[in-house]
Structure 1
Amino acid sequence: MNAQTTTHVLFGTDELDGWLHEDIGYFDLTSAVLEIGDRPARIAWKARGSVVAACTEEIVRLLAQRQVVQIRHAASGTVLQAGDALIEAEGPAQALLDVWKVGQNLLEYACGVATRTHELVRAIHAVDPRVGVLTTRKHPPGLRRVAIKATRAGGAWPHRLGLSETVVVFPQHRALLPEGGWASIRETLTRNAPGLAEKKIVIEAATLEEAELAVQAGADVIQFDKVMPEQLAPWCTHLRNRWPHLKILAAGGIRHDNATGYAASGVDALVTSSLYYGAPADIGVTLTPG
C-alpha cells in the first residue's frame, strides 16, 4: 500500500449523523428481533479489486460516534489491492451494524471516483506531468464534499467549489450584456478588478477569435469548451506566443478515452466531470463474533 495524496475535507457532525438517521430510522428491527445488538463483534470493509481509498476517515468518525474505539483504517489516497482492508473495527454488534451499509455505500461510490481519478491522472502525467486535472461541480446535489474528497484522493483538484469562489464568465453571462458582451466585460473588469486582485478571471471561449477577445477583455485564463485536441494545439501555440502568461484550460466531453490527446495539446489543465460517473468500487463487508 502507498499513499497517493494527503486529503482533508471538512464534514460536519450533523451531516454524518444525517447519513445514519436516513438509514436507521428509529432502530434496527432485524438485530432487535435476533437479540444480537449487545454482542461483541468485528467488522471489516475490504477491497475486492485494486482501488484508491476515499472517505475512510468519515466512516471512522461514524464508528467513533457509536462508541467504537478499536478502529484501523487506510487513509484516503492509499492505493489498495484485492483483499486489503479499508477499515477494520471491533465493538458492540449494534454499533457496527448501524454503520455497515452506510459505510459500504459511501466507500463504493467514493473509492470508485477516487480510482477513476487516479487512473486518469496517471495517464495524463505519462503524457505531460505539468498538465493538471480539475474537476467540476457537475455532480448530483448533496454530494459535493464526497466528490471533492474522492477526486482529491485520486490526485485531482477542484476547478470551482461554488459561485462565490471564482469569476468564470460563460456565454450565458455574455448573453445578458449588450453588444455581445466583450466591451461590457472589459469595462466592468477595469472598474472592479482592483477589488479582485487575488482572483483570476476565467472566460470561456469556443473559438480562437473568442479567446483573443476574452484576453483583450481582461481574461487571465481561457477555458475552451468542446474544442477538439487537434484544433487546440495550434491555438495554444498562437495564444502563448502573444500572451506568454495566459493559462489555457480544456473542458467539455473530456473522458479517459480522449484525455491523453488533450494533455498533449498544450493546455495547462483538463476540466472534467466524467470522474463522478461510472461503476462503483467493489467493497465487501464481513461481520464476525468478537
Structure 2
Amino acid sequence: MLDRLPDSELDRFFEEDCPYGDLTTHLLGIGRQKGRITFSTREETVLCGTEEAGRLLDRCGARVGRMEESGTRLSAGVEFLVADGEAGSLHAGWKVALNLLEYASGIATRTARIIAVARAVNPAVVVTTTRKSFPGTRKISIKAITAAGAVPHRLGLSETILVFRQHTAFLGGLEPFLGMIGDLRKRAPETAIMVEAESVADAVAVAAAGPDVLQIDKVAPADLSALVPQLRKLAPMTRISAAGGINESNAAVYAATGVDILVLSSAYFGRPADIGVRLEPVV
C-alpha cells in the first residue's frame, strides 16, 4: 500500500535521535572521513523499511548503492542495504535507520509467519490487522503488515462501518440495531457493513440480518467450528471473521474453523528483527 513514508515522518525520527548533531563523531574528528555502512540479516527476515532507511541515509548526506525492497524474504547473513558517504553522515543515520528496519521487519516477519500457519490449513483465509498499533507508528506498521501479505482491517474510523456492542448499547441493544442495517446500506451503499458479535447466539441473530461481514469476537475455536456451517446456511453472502486473541500460536486453529478472515493485533507486538550493521572506512 504505502510505497514510502513521507520525509516529514523521517525528519521526526531523525530529530528525536540527533537534535543538535553527533557530539561523539564531532569530538573524535572523524566526520569528514569516507566510509560505508552495510546492513545485513542475522536470521530469516521479511524486510520492511528499507526504502525509509535508504532515504534517511540519503537525507543525512550518504549515497545508497544497493537496496532490497520491502517484502523481500531473506535468509540469515545476507547484505541488503549499502550506502557510502562521510563518516559524519553515516553515523548520524545509523541508529535511526537500524531501529526503523528492526521494528518494521520484526512486524513483517511475524505477520508472514502468522499467514503461513493459517494458510497451511485454510489457503483462502485472509489475515487482517486492527488499528491497535502503538500510537505514532501506524504508517510504518501498516506498511510492514502489507509487505508480508496481510491487509489492514481498519485504517481508522472515517472510512469503515463496524458496529460493536459499545454502539448498540446506545440504541437499546442488539435487536433494535439489527433493524437498521437496511437503512445503513442505503445511506452508505459503497461501504461494507460489519457487525461484531460476542456470543454464538448473537452471531446467529446478526447473520440473519445480513451484514456484509460478521465479526465473531472471543468465541472458542471449537464453538466456532460448529457455528460457521450454520452461519453459511443462514447468510451465504455474509463473510465471517474471527477476532480476539489470535496470534501465531493459535492462528492455524482459528483458520481451520472455516472463517474467511482472521482479525488480529498480535503482529504489531513482539521481538524486533535482528539486523547487523557494519560501519567501516573506505580508502
TM over 0.5: yes
Q: How many residues align?
A: 282
| Pairing 1:54–2:44 present | no
Cα distance between partner residues in 2 of 1:205 and 1:105: 39
2:185 partner SS: helix
Aligned to 1:184: 177
CA deviation profile, 1:146-204 (whole Å, cap 9, x unmatched): 111111111111101101121000111111112x14323523x4334223111111110
The counterpart of 2:8, out of the listed 14, 24, 39, is 14
The counterpart of 1:207, out of the listed 186, 195, 199, is 199
- Asked if the contact 2:200–2:219 (Cα under 8 Å) also holds between the matched residues in 1, the reply is no
The counterpart of 2:86, out of the listed 79, 82, 92, is 92
Corresponding letter in the other structure for 1:182:
E
The counterpart of 1:167, out of the listed 161, 166, 170, is 161
CA deviation profile, 1:107-132 (whole Å, cap 9, x unmatched): 11111111111111111111111001
List alignment gaps of at least 5 residues for structure 2.
none
The alignment's TM-score, normalised by the length of structure 1, stands at 0.93
| Pairing 1:273–2:265 present | yes
| Pairing 1:27–2:18 present | no
- Asked if the contact 2:4–2:52 (Cα under 8 Å) also holds between the matched residues in 1, the reply is no
| Pairing 1:223–2:210 present | no
Cα distance between partner residues in 2 of 1:277 and 1:159: 16
Q: Structure 1 stretch 166-175 or stretch 209-218: which is displaced more?
A: 209-218
| Pairing 1:66–2:60 present | yes
Corresponding letter in the other structure for 1:121:
I
Deviation at 1:67, TM superposition (A): 3.2
Aligned to 1:284: 276
Deviation at 1:60, TM superposition (A): 1.2
- Asked if the contact 1:159–1:271 (Cα under 8 Å) also holds between the matched residues in 2, the reply is yes
- 1:129-148 paired onto structure 2 within 5 Å: 129-148=123-142
Q: Structure 1 residues 154, 218: CA separation in 2 closer, same or farther (over 3 Å shift)?
A: same
2:167 partner SS: helix
| Pairing 1:118–2:112 present | yes
Deviation at 1:142, TM superposition (A): 0.4
- Asked if the contact 2:53–2:98 (Cα under 8 Å) also holds between the matched residues in 1, the reply is no
CA deviation profile, 1:73-117 (whole Å, cap 9, x unmatched): 111111111111231111111111111001111111111111111
Aligned to 2:236: 244
The alignment's TM-score, normalised by the length of structure 2, stands at 0.95
- Asked if the contact 1:60–1:71 (Cα under 8 Å) also holds between the matched residues in 2, the reply is no
Percent identity at matched positions?
45
Cα distance between partner residues in 1 of 2:57 and 2:68: 15
Corresponding letter in the other structure for 1:125:
R
CA deviation profile, 1:230-264 (whole Å, cap 9, x unmatched): 11112110010121111000000111111111111
Corresponding letter in the other structure for 1:275:
A
Cα distance between partner residues in 2 of 1:168 and 1:203: 6
